[in-house]
Structure formats: C-alpha cells, structure tokens
Structure 1
C-alpha cells in the first residue's frame, strides 16, 4: 500500500484530480438534457471531480503539515500509549517508564469526579485579558480531608489558533488527570486550560513583544497570581507545571527555561523550539536579533547557564520536530532534567497527543509538589469542614 505521506500517492491523486476535471469538461455537453439520466450524469461528474480535488489537496496538506503519518493514524487503528525515557546530559538514557491503562467509574458529584468552571483571567500587571478558559478542580478539592489544603497547578495550553474546549472534549485532560490521580500516579492537581492567544487573534508565540502585548509576563506572573488568589493552589514554582501541544508546547518549554521561578516543569507535545515572524504573528522582535535568539530554546540550552527545571519533549520518528528534539537532548546540561516520549509513528494531531498525555501525566506526577495544609502539613491533617468553592467570573 502507498505511504500516506509519500510522493507517489500525492502524484496519483493530483493526476486523478486533473483527469476528473478534464473528463467532466469533455462530458458536460454530452450530459445536456432534462432527463433523469442527464441529471444523474451531471451530478456524478460534479461530485466525482470535487472529491478528487479535495482528496489531492488533503494529501498535499497532510504531507506538508504532518497531521497524519500513516494510514493507521488516519483511521485511528494504530499505535499504543507512549513511553517516557529519561536522559542524562550527553544523551544517555537513564530509564524507561511504561504506561498502564487505568479504568475508573466517575460519579457526577464534585467530590467523586471533580468540577469544571469557565473563567476569564485579567492580568493585574499587564492589563491583558485572556480568552475564555476552563479550570478543572479535582475531587479532593471538595473533600473534607482537603478542606484547607492548597493544590499544585498545571497550566494546559492549546496550539494556535486552537480551542480551550478541545482540551476537554478531544484531548480529555480532566479525564486523564482524574485517572492518574486515582491510580496514584500524580497528586490531586488543579488544571487551567486555555489558548496561548490573549491579544485578539494574534499569534504572539507567548512573547513579551516590544511595544506590544506582554504575553509571557501574563502567563508567568499574572496567571499564577490570579489562580492563587482565586483558588486554593500552591503559590510555588515546584507546584506549577506548563503543558501544551504545538505552539502551546513551545510556550510551556519557554516558560520553564526563561522563568523557572514561575514553572519548574514543562511538557511539550509536538512542540517546536524557536519561532519567527510570519503573517499571523506580525513583528515579534521589534527588529532586535538578540530577542529572537533569547527565545530560541536550543540556543538557550547551548549558551546559557542551565536552569533547575524538568522538561518532557514528545515527538514521533516521522514528525518534523524529531531532528530538533535530538539536538535538544544533546544540548541540555545538569541541573536541567530532560525526558522524551518518541512514538514510532504519529503526526501533528489529536490522536497522537492522546497517546502521549497519560504517560506525560505520570512523569509529571513525580515532579509536582503534593497538596499541603496550612502550616505545611500533608493532606488530611486539616479541619473537616469545607469552605465554599471560589466562584468563577
């Protein structure tokens, strides 16, 4: 069978599309008439040409953007969960952590399955207003034993243009987090799910743009402050992680490497490691080459003092970011910790990321600080009367 991303299949599809168009033009005068056979002929020619052209365009776009790498990825029939590999500086692997499937029954009560609230965050220092976002509060947030406990927080970012709703409906972050908590793979954690876009629909690449929106400051300063004041979350870097796919993955890594006092762990699913100006971004750097370089994550690993952060990079052997990921592995130095998930086949799509999220959450669970009661006591040590749950704007 032809490879889904191979040149032969694209050539055949384009030839068939051109042939279908030419055949339609040649047959159209012969299909004139008012009878049902003429109507059926015209309809078949029209639909056949449209389908052939759409198939050719779809194959060309898929090969360029890497949405699906194999027929199994496209049909949803291939590939299991990913596996995490921890690396030493100079690229030596330390260990491999497998992923087990977790099954659980979820009740509708918040103290059994948690709760999702819609919010909108306004930055106190930047004045920026984030796009509509969602907060997932785990079941423990509502349980008497955790009544006064503060929880770790995970910022989850979509790609660009992306949709915060898809983080719930397609990538199933709340459901996967609940399974990981129930399996003891990660501590009870509050999720904040949102788009990386806060300035209209501009792709800011999560940067503090000279003379423009200060998006990095919004996510690394305003968002943690807003969450700590609104919800019972720990206001500490080791209790915060940033996670994202594509553009969101680049942002997550950048937050950890550039602002380790804000996020101590980061997970990138199919993320890239540098950015440039394009029609969706406008001028990101204000004509300053140094600013572009400082937002190049590979350059930072090679040239700046290493930060005490933990990074997880997810890729596939046939994905565009795979060569750059290998360079990231070779470049990092202690005390930075770097791990990877490498699938045999995948692509820039939701199915690939759903295979990577469960093992990524298990990896993160070993790095996030657990919930704490006032005075530093562990969960379960506080009063048994739960205060009202903070509301959402």
Structure 2
C-alpha cells in the first residue's frame, strides 16, 4: 500500500486506538514496581505515542502532499531525474506520453466537457534534464470551434519537496479553471503542472547550478519549446506565464524577471525572494557572488533595469513569514514591471491558504496572457 493510501492512514488510526485501549486495560496489571512492569509501561506508552505521531504525520502528508511515496519519504526517489540518453517519443517529438487522466468535474469523462490531463516525460535537449509533467488541456482544446486555435499556457509549480499530483488532487488548479471558464472569468489556458525538483532529491531552486543541474534552462528553454512543439500553444513570451507556491513561487518570479523573453507573467503564492542555502540545496552558485546576487530578487530590483513583465505576489498579515518582504518587494517594483498583490488578513503557509488565493490568481493570470 502506498504512502498516500487511505488504507494506510486508516490502519495507522486503528492501531493508535487499539494501543490506547490496550494501555488502559493493561495499566492496572503493570502497576507493580518490578522491572518487568516498568518496561511494560514504557513500551505501551512509547508504542501508543509513536502510533499517534504516525497517524498525524500520514494525515498531514495526505492533506498537503509533502511526499508521494515511501521511496520519496526515505530519499529514494524513483521518478526519472537527470538523463542524458533518453530516446524521444515515437512521433519524433521530445515528449513521451505516459497516460491520461480525466478531470474530476461534472461530465469530466468527456474531454470536450471537462478537459484532459496528460502525463508526459519532457526531455531537455539543452539542459539534459528529463522530468515528468501533468499537462491540463481545457475543454475548448477538444472542441471543433477551437480546432485551429493556439492557447496560452502557464507552468504551475509546487513547493519543495511537493508532488505534482497535489496540484490537481489537493489544490484543484484544473477544477478551478473549469469553474472560471464556466463563469467566463478566464480564457482557456493550458496548465503544465510540475515539481520544481527536476533533479531529485536536490532542491535546485530553479537555478542553473555551476557543474550541476541546469534547472533554469530546462524551464525557460526546453520545457517551453517542447510543449509548444507538441501542443497548440503559443511560442512567444506573451503566451506563457508561471504560477507557483512557496519554492515554486520564488521560481515563478525569478525566471520571469530573469527571462522576460520567455515568460511575461508570474504569480508567487507565499513565495520567497531569495534562494536559501541549506543541506537540501547544497552550493547553488558554485561560490559565485555574482550569480548569487542575480538570483536575489530584491537585489535585482535595486541594481538592474526592470523587465516589462506582470507580477502578482501573495501573503497574509498574520501567519506568513514573507509578509514584510512582500511589502518591500511591492514598493521596490519599478516600471515597466507591473505589480499586483493578494494580501489576506490571516493565513498560514499551507494548502488551505493557497486554495483561497488560487481563483483570483488564475483569473488575474488568464487576463494577462495572449497568443
């Protein structure tokens, strides 16, 4: 049974309840002062508390999508990472189709009503990175009226470590767009849902690491070119945006500000403005202070010309650590960059907060892309 299986969670809860009942029942028998009784009490308390912690941990993981599998949890990620000799798909493109999924909306079994989610492998010719992606094609993509039309697209990124599946199973990006389309608040947009962790288990913060994974090149060059070649998506920057939460939010802002010829629009849900350096990232900049500064968004605002892009940042007055930095980022934004924000009164760094922000953020994003 998988880490995110409801059966695993149910078994953990039942075990915790059983151990609690067993502790109450056996406690009078273990009230003696001999060493066997003491060890029995310690063992029961330890087993009960461990089972409770396991239940809470599994529930939190199922709710927020931190880890997708046991291998992911224990650092033995099995999804393809950096590959240098991957064969292209049978149709000659740089994508390999792995399967499709229906969208959980009314009538979702029909692509022209609910759209479709394609699971693909994207091979980067320049970055030499291969990574899976979930491509949501809106209903209009399959309707005769739009048969010759190209669509705008947005990369949708999780945080770290995150799982791409959480973007449609927990954060409901396709379902939210489906509602906005029905309400005529957004134009049909292809969503390319991914983890920013394309060289697992390392957190690359979407940086081209010297002598390491070229993550920024993968997203700004390879991904856009491959998707535009395979799907009816516009090739120019005005057709492409990025939206992400946490680490994905930093990536969205950073790549759009650094590559305005590739992306025109970015949304950062609770994003940071500088890449951390910790055991999960390692040395991102190879000792280069220049590269480190160029990836510091506050430094870029002060010392480099502003790019002609649209940016949306989110935070909350209570519950988010990035609140003061977000206000500072807004104040420092210079023309021709355009800045917008969503500031909640309260909300933590979690899925519940981002679900409150996503409808308005997608509507804003869709209004700024064109083909």
- Category of TM-score, reference length = shorter chain: 0.7 to 0.9
Tell me which residue corresponds to 1:335.
336
Separation in structure 1 between the aligned mates of residue 146 and residue 234 of structure 2, nearest angstrom: 13
Over 3 Å counting, the alpha-carbon distance change for 1:181 and 1:49 in structure 2 is: closer
Conserved? CA contact 1:306–1:335, under 8 Å: yes
Distance 1:106 1:283 in 2: 48
Structure 2 stretches of 5 or more lacking a match? 1-28, 58-65, 67-104
The correspondence for 2:32, drawn from 30, 33, 37, is 30
Q: Go from structure 1 to structure 2 and tell me whether the alpha carbon gap of 1:49 and 1:184 turns closer, same or farther (over 3 Å shift).
A: closer
Q: Which residue of 2 aligns with 1:348?
A: 349
Shift of 1:107: 4.0
Query: What is the root-mean-square deviation of aligned Cα atoms in Å?
Result: 2.8
SS in structure 1 opposite 2:346?
A: coil
Who is 1:229 aligned against? 229
- Partner SS state of residue 126, structure 1: coil
Q: 1:46 to 1:217 in 2, by over 3 A?
A: closer
Instruction: Specify whether residues 218 and 42 from structure 1 end up closer, same or farther in structure 2 by C-alpha distance, changes over 3 A only.
Output: closer
Q: Distance in 1 between matches of 2:49 and 2:173?
A: 40
The answer on whether the counterparts of 1:158 and 1:195 sit within 8 Å (CA) in structure 2 is yes
Q: Relative to structure 1, is the Cα distance of residues 32 and 341 closer, same or farther in structure 2, using a 3 angstrom cutoff?
A: farther
**Contact 1:28-1:42 within 8 A present in 2 as well:** no
- Quote the offset at 1:200 in angstroms: 3.1
TM (norm. structure 2) is 0.74
- In 2, the alpha carbon distance for the partners of 1:237 and 1:244 equals 18
* Counterpart for residue 109 of structure 2: 108
Counterpart of 1:292 in structure 2 is 292
Cα shift at 1:183: 1.5
Separation (CA, whole Å) in 1 of partners of 2:240 and 2:190: 10
Which residue of structure 2 aligns with residue 124 of structure 1? 125
Q: Distance in 2 between matches of 1:157 and 1:181?
A: 21
- Contact preservation (8 Å) 1:31, 1:42: no
CA deviation map 1:168-194 (0-9, x unaligned)? 100011101111122111111111101
SS in 2 for 1:298: helix
Partner of 1:234: helix, strand, or coil? coil
- Deviation of residue 362 (structure 1)? 1.1
Distance 1:342 1:51 in 2: 38
With over 3 angstroms needed to count, the CA separation of the structure-2 counterparts of 1:281 and 1:28, relative to structure 1, is: farther
Q: C-alpha separation between the residues in 1 aligned to 2:203 and 2:268?
A: 18
1:121-141 deviation digits (Å, cap 9, x = unpaired): 0012121111x2100000010
Q: Distance between the aligned counterparts of 1:124 and 1:44, measured in 2?
A: 56
1:160/1:196 contact within 8 Å kept: yes
Q: Which residue of 1 aligns with 2:88?
A: none
Please state whether the residue corresponding to 2:126 is helix, strand or coil: coil
Give the CA deviation at 1:51: 8.0
Instruction: Give the aligned partner of residue 182 of structure 1.
Output: 182
Give the deviation of 1:30 after TM superposition. 2.5
Q: Which residue of 2 aligns with 1:277?
A: 277
Give the aligned length.
296
Residue 340 of structure 1 aligns to a residue in which SS? strand
Spell out the pairing of 1:19-168 with structure 2 (5 A cutoff): 30=32, 45-46=45-46, 105-130=106-131, 132-168=132-168
Task: Tell me how far apart the structure 1 counterparts of residues 117 and 306 of structure 2 sit (CA, whole Å).
Answer: 37
Map 1:221-260; keep pairs closer than 5 Å. 221-260=221-260
Cα deviations by residue, 1:16-36 (Å, 9 ceiling, x for unpaired): xxxxxxxxxxx966376999x
- Per the alignment, in what secondary structure is the counterpart of residue 317 of structure 1? strand
Contact kept in structure 1, 2:154 and 2:189, CA below 8 Å: yes
Query: Any conservation in 2 of the 1:126–1:217 contact (CA below 8 Å)?
Result: yes
Structure 1 residues 200 and 148: alpha-carbon distance in aligned structure 2, compared to 1, 3 A threshold: same
SS in 1 for 2:260: coil
- Taking CA–CA contacts closer than 8 Å with sequence separation of 6 or more, which of the two structures ends up with the larger relative contact order? 1
Q: Distance in 2 between matches of 1:271 and 1:31?
A: 56
Structure 2 distance, partners of 1:49, 1:114, is 45
Note if contact 2:189-2:366 (Cα within 8 Å) is conserved in structure 1: no
| 1:50–1:321 distance in 2 versus 1, CA, 3 Å | same
- Contact 2:108–2:115 under 8 Å retained in 1: no
